[in-house]
Amino acid sequence: MMMMKSSGPFLLLLLLLSLSSTASGLGSVVRRDYSYISKHYTWQDAQSYCRKLTSYTDLATIFTQSDADSINVVPYHAWISLHKLDGISWIWSHKYGMNVSGQNQYYWGNNEPYNENCAVVYYTSQKFHARSCDEYYFFFCLEDTSWITYEYTFIPQSKSWSEAQQYCQSKKYRDLATFLYSSDLYSVHEQDFPVWTGLHREGGTWRWSTGLSEYRNWASNEPGNNDCVSISSKSKTMATQSCSARFPFLCFADNLVLVKENKTWEKALEHCRALISTFLPNLRYELVSVQPGEDHDYVMNKVMEANTEEVWAGLRFLAGEWLWVNGQSMLYSDLPLCPPLVQHCGALSKNSTGSVEAKDCSEKRNFLCYSTS
């Protein structure tokens, strides 16, 4: 949430002072951040969770393959057969298991077990953690080929502990996994499992929970008939899932703020500089500066959501040259060297040619701000 404060008069004087005190550079001003949440929620609950977080805006929108490749979704928790008998003693449910009170304590994570009745194994530490039996996780099933040889299968379905046990017992497996020895834990390695994204089908059309993106990387035989979309933790391919299924999910945020109010360029600059984040009061905002290439392409996704055909950017013609208000280097070479007197401000157009266009500063349009810290 952003609020406004008064920035006072002499806007162009402040602009010039800002330019003179800001170091020039080529660096990107656009930041994108994906966060993997290991809780298992339905698609709608995951969306609500992301939207309520102060540092994130929504379920993840993926724009490029490099975005997908950069997402780290390796960690997971998985049910095992370890549980409390009558709420007192920890035992393995499989017939070859044993009472582990006083045994195998070194398999527990730090400060474990908590006062819960079922156990998961955590991929990152390969340690056991106590959890409420009603929570939802993936799980390992056990197939014993002999009384001393076990094989383990990871099941990337989200279930409660009892549901997971029933699944294992109803299939070819004996039970949920029993890890009696540290060597058994070598089976707890990187696995492939679904993670919610913000892509979903609405009225027959694929839409992201926020933003506009044409990115799709469907797995074989996809998209199917379900309406919500997950991404594979390893292959990063996408698949449709029932929206009521429970999976971990990805939250997303960037540092751009599209203001759908029509203002002149100077009023837009004033508005951005007056923004204050309710949750992060140290953030400062500026009219967006953008460079050619991937940054420009990404910013254009925001521009396409505007209510005006063009959106103000932080570009101004002053003292005979085009300048970004934050001091970034000017890399666009097709701007007019001597623009008409009124066309001294830069805007991004929905009919983009890959550049910034010179426009009349007194015209009113939407504008893009970004946080600078």
pLDDT tens figures, 163-198: 999 999 988 778 899 887 778 888 889 999 999 999
Q: Which two tokens stand for residue 170?
A: 């109803």
Q: Are residues 53 and 134 in the same domain?
A: no
In the chain, the percentage of residues whose pLDDT exceeds 90 is: 54
Residue 229 has what pLDDT? 98
Of 204, 234, 253, the last residue of a domain is 253
Q: Are residues 47 and 105 in the same domain?
A: no
* Residue 161 DSSP code: H
| CA–CA distance, 92 with 161 (Å, rounded to integer) | 13
Q: Does any domain span residue 3?
A: no
Contact predicate 274/6, CB 8 Å = yes
Q: Are residues 65 and 122 in the same domain?
A: no
Of 187, 213, 244, the last residue of a domain is 187
Of 187, 221, 239, the last residue of a domain is 187
Q: Are residues 180 and 84 in the same domain?
A: yes
| CA–CA distance, 78 with 168 (Å, rounded to integer) | 13
The tens digit of pLDDT for each residue in 53-87 reads 767 789 999 998 989 998 989 999 999 999 998 77
| CA–CA distance, 295 with 117 (Å, rounded to integer) | 49
Residue written as token pair 């080529």: 26
94 pLDDT band, cuts 50/70/90, is low
CATH number, domain containing residue 339 = 3.10.100.10
Going by C-alpha positions, the residue among 144, 139, 64 that lies closest to residue 97 is 144
Q: Are residues 67 and 147 in the same domain?
A: no
Q: Does any domain span residue 1?
A: no
Q: Are residues 58 and 203 in the same domain?
A: yes
- pLDDT of 303 > 60? The answer is yes
Residue 266 has what pLDDT? 95
Residue 141 has what pLDDT? 93
Q: Are residues 275 and 338 in the same domain?
A: yes
Residue written as token pair 């279930």: 159
Q: Does any domain span residue 172?
A: yes
Q: Does any domain span residue 105?
A: yes
Q: Are residues 247 and 262 in the same domain?
A: no
The tens digit of pLDDT for each residue in 276-302 reads 776 667 788 999 998 888 888 889 989
| CA–CA distance, 37 with 27 (Å, rounded to integer) | 30
- pLDDT of 95 > 70? The answer is no
Q: Does any domain span residue 283?
A: yes
Residue 105 has what pLDDT? 56
What mean pLDDT comes out for the span 201-206?
93
Q: How many CB atoms lie within 10 A of CB 90?
A: 22
Q: Does any domain span residue 231?
A: yes
Q: Please report how many Cα atoms fall inside a 13 Å half-sphere around the Cα of residue 107, on the Cβ side.
A: 25
Q: Does any domain span residue 39?
A: yes
21 pLDDT band, cuts 50/70/90, is very low
Q: Which residues contact 151 (CB under 8 A, 6 or more apart)?
A: 142, 143, 144, 145
Q: Does any domain span residue 2?
A: no
Mean pLDDT over each residue of the chain, to the nearest integer: 86
- pLDDT of 11 > 80? The answer is no
Q: Are residues 259 and 367 in the same domain?
A: yes
- pLDDT of 155 > 80? The answer is yes
What mean pLDDT comes out for the span 107-120?
88
Residue written as token pair 């997950």: 230
264 pLDDT band, cuts 50/70/90, is very high
User: Considering the entire predicted model, what is its pTM?
Assistant: 0.80
Q: Are residues 207 and 221 in the same domain?
A: yes
Residue 179 has what pLDDT? 84
The tens digit of pLDDT for each residue in 132-146 reads 999 999 999 988 665
Q: Number of folded domains in the chain? A: 3
Q: Are residues 92 and 154 in the same domain?
A: yes
Q: Are residues 209 and 199 in the same domain?
A: yes
Q: Show the domain range for 216.
A: 32-73+192-253
14 pLDDT band, cuts 50/70/90, is low
- pLDDT of 91 > 70? The answer is yes
Burial 338-355 (b: 16+ CB within 10 A, else e): eeeeebbbbbbbeebeee
- pLDDT of 150 > 60? The answer is yes
More confident residue, 66 or 106: 66
